[in-house]
Amino acid sequence: MSANILDGKQVAAELIEDIRQAVQHRLATGRRAPGLAMILVGDNPASRVYVSNKERACARSGIRSFLHILAPDTGQSDLLDLIQTLNADPEVDGILVQLPLPTQIDSGAVIEHIDPAKDADGFHPYNMGRLALSLPGFRPCTPRGIMTLLERTGLPLAGSDAVIIGRSNIVGRPMALELLRVDATVTVCHSRTRDLDRKVAGADIVVAAVGRAQFVAGDWIKRGATVIDVGMNHTAAGTLVGDVDFAGASRRAAWITPVPGGVGPMTVATLLQNTLDSAAARDPLENR
Ligand code: GUN
């Protein structure tokens, strides 16, 4: 068996085109373009790449982006002041603080300072709590993007056995909440999990978000499973690989995401979706 590719790059391009048309429609009907403010503190090279990808996607879709680059030694109170200004800015529908932040800044305090109604990343405890309760709200971009990809397989999610490897606040935990919401049976694995290979072997859906190159062996994968690889790891040879042994897993899975070109583009497209949704929620009632 050779797995079908879940082409995140293609699906993301379709989503961005839909968003572009929705933005054009907003403008044609006298409404403003959505606005996304992004804050980058310091000079983490990976963060710079992620932020410039997000800027480019905004430009493609017609969403206005406002990038704030702050010095690596920025104090927490200066960052909170900037967020306060953006919370009050009527042109800004979404506020994103790129993580990780330098060590002198408490990320939790920063995330809690963002107006939950502008929390395009969905990381605020208010929105995470709403997701946990299956209530509408902003949903973290990577897990929401993965749900969009899973829906594209046409496979039933209700009753499926899903194994998530990783319990981060950005991916693993909200991914578990997303899959519970659609009635999957969810197992969250992490660094203290025993017999990981056996747990993965029982899974219809595997979401790997560990951050270790090719950590998930191909022969762990159940035949016919769907494999979602969130990893982005640089090898010593300078290539980008995921958390899953792609070649091995492809021989057993029915569906698999490539790295690059799988989950990464979906995260960016979903951020635009969240920003557009936020702008729509802020429209006067008669325009919604
Ligand atoms: N760092 C890694 N992924 C993300 C993300 O989705 N959003 C933000 N703000 N920072 C990140």
Q: What are 68-116's pLDDT values in tens digits?
A: 999 999 999 999 999 999 999 999 999 999 999 999 999 999 999 999 9
CB 43 within 8 A of CB 282: no
Distance from residue 251's CA to the centre of ligand 1 (Å): 31
Q: Is 11 helix (H, G, I), strand (E, B) or coil?
A: helix
Q: What torsion do the CA atoms of 254, 146, 210, 99 make, to the nearest 10 degrees?
A: 160
- 122 located within any domain: no
Residues 164 and 230 in one domain: yes
Distance CA 61, CA 2 (A): 34
**Regarding beta strands 233-234 and 240-241, do their DSSP bridges make them parallel or antiparallel, or are they unpaired?**
antiparallel
Q: What are phi and psi of 271, to 5 degrees?
A: -60, -40
- Asked if residue 255 and residue 176 are part of one domain, the reply reads yes
User: Which residue's CA lies nearest to atom 1 of ligand 1?
Assistant: 99
pLDDT at residue 131, as a whole number? 98
pLDDT number for residue 288 = 73
> For residue 154, is it within any domain?
yes
| CATH number of the structural domain spanning residue 205 | 3.40.50.720
* 203 occurs within a structural domain: yes
**What are the tokens at 202?**
């029982």
Looking at residue 164, the DSSP 8-state letter turns out to be: E
Percent of the chain with pLDDT over 90: 98
Beta strands in 49-150 (DSSP E): 64-70, 94-97
Residues having CB within 6 Å of any atom of ligand 1 = 96-99, 121, 141-142, 170, 267
Considering the domain architecture, whether residues 147 and 259 belong to the same structural domain is answered as yes
Q: What is the mean pLDDT of residues 206-223?
A: 98
| Angle at 128 (CA atoms; ends 122, 133), nearest 5 degrees | 130
Structural domain of residue 83, as residue ranges?
30-116
* pLDDT value for 286: 75
91 and 161 fall within a common domain: no
Number of domains in the chain: 2
Residue at token pair 């953006």:
86
Cα separation of 128 and 122, whole Å?
A: 7
Q: Please report the atom of ligand 1 found closest to the CA of residue 97.
A: 9
Do 96 and 150 reside in the same domain of the chain?
Answer: no
Q: Collapse the DSSP code of 241 into the 3-class scheme (helix H, G, I; strand E, B; otherwise coil) and give the result.
A: strand
Q: Is the distance from CB of 182 to CB of 158 less than 8 angstroms?
A: yes
Q: Confirm whether 245 is a catalytic residue.
A: no
222 is catalytic: no
Give the C-alpha separation, 93 to 167, whole Å: 29
For position 77, which CATH number holds?
A: 3.40.50.10860
Q: Are residues 34 and 82 in the same domain?
A: yes
Ligand 1 closest atom vs CA 271: 6
**How high is the pLDDT of residue 151?**
97
Q: Of 93, 119, 121, 229, which is the active-site residue?
A: 121
Mean pLDDT computed over 44-51: 96
The single residue of 98, 204, 243, 273 carrying the catalytic annotation is: 98
* Euclidean distance between CA atoms 98 and 1, whole angstroms: 40
The answer to whether residue 65 sits within a structural domain is yes
Verify that 153 and 248 share a domain, yes or no: yes
Q: Are residues 148 and 227 in the same domain?
A: yes
Check residue 274 and give its pLDDT: 98
Given a contact cutoff of 8 angstroms between Cβ atoms, the answer to whether 67 and 95 are in contact is no
Does one domain contain both 167 and 243? yes
Over the chain, what is the mean pLDDT?
97
Q: Does the pLDDT value for residue 212 go beyond 90?
A: yes
In a domain, 229, yes or no: yes
**Cα–ligand 1 centroid distance for 36 (angstroms):** 14
Residue type, 107: S
Gap from CA of 98 to ligand 1 centroid (Å):
5
| Predicted local distance difference test score (pLDDT) of residue 287 | 79
d(CA 147, CA 167): 17
Q: Quickly state the pLDDT bin for 284 (edges 50, 70, 90).
A: confident
Confirm whether 35 is domain-assigned.
yes
260 and 146 housed in the same domain: yes
For the entire predicted model, the pTM comes to: 0.97
Residue 183 lies in a domain: yes
Q: Which pLDDT score is estimated for 141? A: 98
pLDDT at 185: 98
Distance CA 62, CA 272 (A): 10
Quick check: bond before 100 cis, omega within 30? yes
Beta bridge partners of 275: none
48 and 107 inside one domain? yes
Annotation marks residue 214 as catalytic? no
Looking at the DSSP bridge assignments, the partners of residue 223 are none
Please write the tens of the pLDDT for every residue from 109-148. 999 999 999 999 999 999 999 999 999 999 999 999 999 9
Residues 100 and 213 in one domain: no
Beta bridge partners of 56: none
For the cut 80, the answer to whether the pLDDT of residue 285 exceeds it is: no
In a domain, 278, yes or no: no
Distance of CA 68 from the midpoint of ligand 1 (Å): 15
Nearest CA to ligand 1 atom 4: 99
- Ligand 1, atom 2: nearest CA belongs to which residue? 99
Q: Which of 54, 204, 229, 243 is catalytic?
A: 54
Residue 197, exposed/middle/buried by CB under 10 A (0-12, 13-18, 19+)? exposed
Residues 6+ apart with CB under 8 A from 58: 36, 64, 65, 272, 275
pLDDT digits (tens, 9 = 90+) for 22-32: 999 999 999 99
CA of 252 from ligand 1 middle (Å) equals 31
CA gap 109, 124 in Å, rounded: 10
Q: Specify the residue with its C-alpha closest to ligand 1, atom 11.
A: 99
Ligand 1 geometric centre to CA of 48 (Å): 11
| Residue nearest ligand 1's atom 3 by CA | 99
